[in-house]
A and B are shown apart, each in its own frame.
Chain A
Amino acid sequence: MKPIRLNTRQFIYTIAVSALLWGTAAHAQTALDDILKSKVLKVAVQTDSAPYGFVGTDLKPVGLDIDMANYIGKKLGVAVELVQVVSASRIPALQTKKADLVIATLGKNPEREKVIDFSSAYSPFFQAVFGPKTISVKSFADLAGKTVGVTRGAMEDQELAKVAPPSTDTKRFEDNNATIAAFTSGQVQFVALGASVAGNMMTKNPQLSCEYKLLLKDSPNFIGIAKGEDKLKAKVNEIIAEAKKSGELDAMAKKWLGRPAGDLPL
């Protein structure tokens, strides 16, 4: 049998050259101009977080986030192209320029602010731990030794890591649907989810007799913009401020969440 000979030098050269090419590919602040020129706004949306973004009866994405994307497209006078992402690929979609904007229940935190920029908030949201009525949970300490399912890379993941006791067994899944499947099939005892996603899960699965347990974080949604694209950010903020004034944001929140948008941070 012949042993494999790996040409180490070739391998290292290939990696080094691609890294160099990557590193030198500089780009200027041209996102807004590019959008206006090509007449297409690429927006990353999720389809596993009803009622913000989900697949409608015609198999197309619908929801509050999609309405917001179309609203911004209309105000810019360009067509909107929806790019479907999952929770963990929202920020990479901006970094790799697959999308100009991320409108996908995106919360703001310092880790994310290091790599992307955020607009003003456009809709309300909160994250919490949900679980069966049969297990009593009064505080995070009661989660000791319990299994909690969470979507990897979502805000809930980071918030839970901060407050859960060390003996909590956190199981991380790829997207909200997998996290919900793990809970409904009994693979985890609790789930940490965004309120709307959990609400949807509870309506669809009344046999779980699942209830709200603990608040993780009140975190309104922001629109994600690639780092340094200040012109695009200013334009988006202008559109949001306008929509807030005209009552458009409240109307969207009422339509999808059953309550007004309320007081949103800038």
Chain B
Amino acid sequence: MTIQLDFAAVFAEWPMLLTGVTWTLALTTASVLVGTLLGIACAWVRARGFGSALAPAWLAVPVGAYVEVIRNTPFIVQLFFIFFGLPAAGFRLSAESASFLAMVINLGAYATEIIRAGLEATPKGQLEAAQSLALNRWQIFTRVVLPPALKKVWPSMVSQIIIVMLGSSVCGQISTQELSYAADLIQSRNFRSFESFIVVGAMYLLLSIGIRLWLNWLGTNVLFGRR
């Protein structure tokens, strides 16, 4: 017996693949937008070495705990905790909302550390210059410290965003209909597992490369200006 490859059987299920890509992209986009904001806020709290320039010190403990807990536990455990665990506490989310929440919380923690690195690389003189111009804390953070910090760490952020996008493949485990859920469903229907996973693997590869190129372009040309 020879195993024959039959990609047509996989492509025949294109509506499922399309739904999968849509969910993967939608979850990634939404969680990147919210997760980055969360990361900026937590990095603002966690960044040290700015004296009175940044957040109140008492916030550092809960934010530090959040970052360490999330960065030292697997994503799938976080996801299962939110989806299967929280209902016991009366907090019930749909599979899609649970996936979104888990991805935001996960990206938020990693983004915190990435952005904090950028914040802490701010030259002291730049900060003193801003203070001597009588800018207030908010102005200093949003106009003097944050933009160059984000620009410095943008490549790392892009990598983390790709990791989160690929990590969303785990969300299929709680019945979110993202791309790898589609692959699993297709191969459980027609048993073409080899072909299904090759097709979906190639789709993830294209998505990753596309998103990376687009974000790199966006970073240099739109967000932070050419230099």
Known contacts A15-B198, A178-B173; A1/B189 CB under 8 A: no
CA A254 – CA B31 in complex, angstroms? 53
Q: Which residues of A contact B95 (CB under 8 A)?
A: 171, 187
A171 engages B175 (CB within 8 Å): yes
Question: For chains A and B in complex, what number of residue pairs have CB atoms within 8 angstroms?
Answer: 86
A23 engages B190 (CB within 8 Å): no
Q: Is A245 an interface residue (CB 8 A)?
A: no
B173 engages A185 (CB within 8 Å): no
B213 engages A3 (CB within 8 Å): yes
A-contacting residues, B1-46, CB 8 Å: 1-5
A182 engages B1 (CB within 8 Å): no
CA A22 – CA B5 in complex, angstroms? 9
Contact of A181 among B84, B188, B194 (CB under 8 A): B84
Q: Is B220 an interface residue (CB 8 A)?
A: yes
Known contacts A4-B209, A172-B185; A95/B193 CB under 8 A: yes
Contact of B3 among A6, A25, A88 (CB under 8 A): A25
B92 engages A186 (CB within 8 Å): yes
Q: Is B71 an interface residue (CB 8 A)?
A: no
Q: Is B70 an interface residue (CB 8 A)?
A: no
CB-nearest residue of chain B to A228: B1
Instruction: Specify the main secondary structure of chain B where it touches its partner.
Output: helix
CB-nearest residue of chain A to B219: A1
CA A53 – CA B107 in complex, angstroms? 39
Contact with B along A225-254 (1 / 0, CB 8 A): 001100000000000000000000000000
Contact with B along A9-35 (1 / 0, CB 8 A): 000000100010011111100000000
Q: Which residues of B contact A1 (CB under 8 A)?
A: 155, 216, 219-220
Q: Which residues of A contact B88 (CB under 8 A)?
A: 185
Q: Is A153 an interface residue (CB 8 A)?
A: yes
Q: Which residues of B contact A3 (CB under 8 A)?
A: 213, 216
CA A15 – CA B202 in complex, angstroms? 10
CB distance from A196 to the nearest CB of B (A): 21
CB-nearest residue of chain B to A157: B188
A185 engages B87 (CB within 8 Å): yes
A172 engages B2 (CB within 8 Å): no
B212 engages A4 (CB within 8 Å): yes
A6 engages B209 (CB within 8 Å): yes
A22 engages B194 (CB within 8 Å): yes
Q: Is B191 an interface residue (CB 8 A)?
A: yes
B-contacting residues, A80-125, CB 8 Å: 88, 91-92, 95, 111-112, 114-115
CA A142 – CA B13 in complex, angstroms? 28
CA A15 – CA B194 in complex, angstroms? 12
Contact of A182 among B5, B84, B193, B194 (CB under 8 A): B84
CB-nearest residue of chain B to A112: B191
Known contacts A88-B184, A112-B191; A182/B213 CB under 8 A: no
CA A92 – CA B185 in complex, angstroms? 13
B191 engages A111 (CB within 8 Å): yes
Q: Which of A23, A25, A152, A153 has the most CB of B within 10 A?
A: A152
Q: Which 8 A-B pairs have the closest CB atoms?
A: A153-B188, A171-B175, A185-B87, A115-B191, A228-B1, A181-B84, A26-B2, A88-B188
Measured CB to CB, the residues of B under 8 A from A are 1-5, 83-85, 87-88, 92, 95, 155, 173-175, 181, 184-185, 187-191, 193-194, 198, 209, 212-213, 216, 219-220
Measured CB to CB, the residues of A under 8 A from B are 1, 3-4, 6, 15, 19, 22-27, 88, 91-92, 95, 111-112, 114-115, 149, 152-153, 157-158, 171-174, 178, 181-182, 185-187, 227-228
Given A1-B155, A153-B185, A178-B174, 6 other A-B residues pairs in contact with their CB atoms under 8 A: A22-B194, A88-B188, A92-B187, A149-B175, A157-B188, A178-B173
- What are some 25 contacts across the A-B interface (CB < 8 A)? A4-B209, A19-B5, A22-B3, A22-B194, A88-B184, A111-B191, A114-B191, A152-B184, A152-B188, A153-B185, A153-B187, A153-B188, A153-B189, A158-B189, A173-B175, A174-B173, A178-B84, A178-B174, A182-B174, A185-B84, A185-B85, A186-B87, A187-B83, A187-B87, A227-B1
